[in-house]
Copies of this chain bind each other. A is one copy, B any other.
Amino acid sequence: MASVTAPVGRRERNKQVKLERITAAARELFAEHGVDDVTTQQIAEKADIGAGTLFLYAKTKGELLLLVQNSAYADALEEGRAGAASLPDVLDAVTAIVRPVVHCNRIQIDNGRTYLRELVFGDPEEPHHRDALTLTLQTEAAVADVLRRDDRLGEREAATLARVISAIMFVTMAATANISRTVDELVQEIRDHVGVLLPR
């Protein structure tokens, strides 16, 4: 998990600890039962905090899901970057980034759907929401890095193509938000589209 925050007084440290307890509790419960079948009370109980305290760390249950998925997403992106580094073929390398990202949004299909819904329609001013958008851009940047290896692609072409791939990932996941598809099927579908777009 990629932590970004800085430590200071006891207050800050306590806050950090609680945030992590909440994240862990929510992640486990969401993964096991699905977002809709977990109450905020249960999460609070598991995290050993008061029911109201939860809402000091995430304004809504939806934001809480963003919080949880973000931490999984950050891990997935790291994994994808590492995998891509050792793959010479550009299409393989892009796929290596795509797979874990798709995977972490499909641990529970309904959770993935709810996550995307929050991402698109939640309040973009909320901190966890901003984090989510940042991760999206970081994914795009990772893809662009891979694309730049192909010297037929200039800086601009790589950036645009990366955004297009990012859009395809998003649309593929959103369009299937209600449908049971395996991660492999989704990844293959995205890979096919990307294959068409890359220079031959």
Binding site for B on A (CB under 8 A): 113-114, 116-117, 120-121, 123-124, 174, 177-178
Which residues of chain B have C-beta atoms less than 8 A from A178's C-beta? Answer: 121, 123-124
Which residues of chain B have C-beta atoms less than 8 A from A177's C-beta? Answer: 120-121
How distant is the Cα of A117 from the Cα of B177 in the complex, in angstroms?
12
How distant is the Cα of A105 from the Cα of B101 in the complex, in angstroms?
32
> Oligomeric state, in number of copies?
2
> Which 9 A/B pairs are nearest by Cβ-Cβ distance?
A117-B121, A124-B178, A113-B121, A121-B177, A117-B117, A120-B174, A120-B177, A123-B178, A117-B120
Count chain B CB atoms within 10 A of each CB in A116, A121, A178 and give the residue with the most: A121
Closest to A177 in B: B121
A133 to B: closest C-beta gap in Å? 12
A116 to B: closest C-beta gap in Å? 8
Closest to A175 in B: B120
Which residues of chain B have C-beta atoms less than 8 A from A174's C-beta? Answer: 120
